[in-house]
A and B are shown apart, each in its own frame.
Chain A
Amino acid sequence: MSTVVIVDDSAVQRRFLRAAVEADPDFSVIGEARNGREAVALVARLRPTAVLMDLDLPLMGGIEAIERIMSATPTPILVYSAFVAGPDSENALQALAAGAVDVLAKPGPDDSGTLEQYAAVLRRRLRVAARVRVITHPRGRLRSQGMVGSVSALGGGSRRPLSSAPPADDDDAQGGSVKLVVIGASTGGPQALLAVLGELPKDLCQAVLVVQHMAEGFIPGLVSWLDGLVPLPVVVGESGRRLAPGTVTIAPSGGNLLVQDDRLRVLCVPPDPGQFHVPGIDATFRSVAQALGPDAVGVLLTGMGRDGAAGLLSLRGRGALTLGQDEATSTVYGMPAAAFALDAVVRQLPLGEIAPALLAALGRSPAVRPAS
């Protein structure tokens, strides 16, 4: 039996969420909080298996509540949040950075699905979230890796060379022909992406393509959040355009982004019938395997399910280097585990060693971080 605390200031939402959650006999809602302060106190007192939380809360906002819960009584938190263009999607990313496990968009007036369908998605995501073992506050973890607390150092790093020594910019070196790094991620992905992309230098010669499972509407927030924190520019992929070297392109939501040729032109196509995760990692990985073969590097990071595993195998089969995140550092060791089981992973690594391995494969020495 998993116990759940619901946090929302609207009685209507709390009732709806309770009914939606308790339709699964394995879930029991043991408490409801109306604001951030109540949430922090209630979670500390009841120690639920998981928390279902809105972000727009009175007295103490959702982000602060997440940070406090994750530092005092770490508990998997599933955020569900209304998407209103702009600031709210940034909030969703901040929620993930603060330690929430996953973010789900609230149904809006223009959604075609029924409430029952939404409730089913909510239960599925809550079941996954409830299984996540949260140990430490991710901000604290990133800080210990010199990632944040140093957000300013990172931001500053984007304006000046990260390395005091000139990079080993030898195109003939091993990996000199690699044109594209393609990364797939799902649950826990945003923090993991920040950890990897934060280590890639501003003068990278390769293009970087990221496929992150994400609810419709949250991609722009992910892009602007990452863009503010990593040295490379971060943009949303557009059909018909080419992926730019030295730029991180994030696959848009709503379909699959395919790389068409070795000039890195991309095409957005609708998801396959019955495709569960959008944008799809397998579809992109397969297209990259086809277009670039050994001139690509594939990376599969944390996430539930198995999307990306078969695609990573295609990449490996065509001679590309493939990296998978290890169990200990994955928020959810699902996709990387599936890839490992298929023998699609050339090297399985802790999160902190993925960027150095990438840079080595690209013929670059890892950036030397100034001691802080």
Chain B
Amino acid sequence: MPDRQGARTLPPEALAGLHQAFRAEVAERLPRLQALHAGSCPRELAEARRAAHSLAGSAVVLGEPGASRAARDIESSLSAGAQQDVPAQVDVLVRLLGAWR
């Protein structure tokens, strides 16, 4: 497991729970971002924005600022209606979250 500096400051038992919860969150939310396509409906777009928002916040807690930034970029694109930028941004996020999948 990569060194997760931010998370190291929490008690070990809380840390283990956080790792588990983050894996579950990545497993649940990343597919929503990967499933986006040109014809995604507004509900799917809204859920994807929320998924990106959650991942951005959680990645910070797990000491993954790079992944957090990538997720925040996706959230910004979806908020701004710039869906065309999202697939490339999702690729970046998937790569940065490799250790958690």
- Chain A positions within 8 Å of B, measured between CB atoms, are 9-16, 18-19, 23, 56, 58, 82, 84, 87, 106-111, 114-116
Chain B 64-84 near chain A by CB (<8 Å), digits 1 or 0: 011011001001100100000
Q: Which residues of A contact B66 (CB under 8 A)?
A: 109
Contact A116 B10 (CB under 8 A): yes
Docked-complex contact A12 and B62, CB < 8 angstroms: yes
- A114 and B54 form a contact (CB under 8 A): no
Q: In the docked arrangement, what's the CA distance between A9 and B54, Å?
A: 8
* Contact of B57 with A110 in the complex, beta carbons under 8 Å: no
- Rounded to whole Å, the gap between the CB of A87 and the closest CB of chain B is 8
- Smallest CB-CB A-B distances: 3 pairs: A109-B65, A19-B14, A109-B68
User: Within the complex, what minimum Cβ distance (angstroms) separates B71 from chain A?
Assistant: 9
A10 touches B68 (CB 8 A): no
| Contact B58 A10, beta carbon cutoff 8 Å | yes
B57: chain A residues within 8 A (beta carbon): 10, 12-13, 82, 106
- Would A19 and B25 count as touching, CB distance under 8 A? no
Alpha-carbon gap, A87 to B69, bound state (A): 18
**Which listed segment binds A: B16-24, B33-41, B85-93?**
B16-24
Asked if A10 contacts B25 (CB within 8 A), the reply is: yes
Set of chain B residues within 8 Å of A108, measured between Cβ atoms = 60, 68, 72
Evaluate contact between B58 and A109: CB separation under 8 angstroms.
Answer: no
Pair A114/B68 contact, Cβ less than 8 Å: no
Q: Is there an interface contact between A116 and B9, defined as CB atoms closer than 8 Å?
A: yes
B11 at the interface (CB under 8 A from A): yes
Interface check B48, CB cutoff 8 A = no
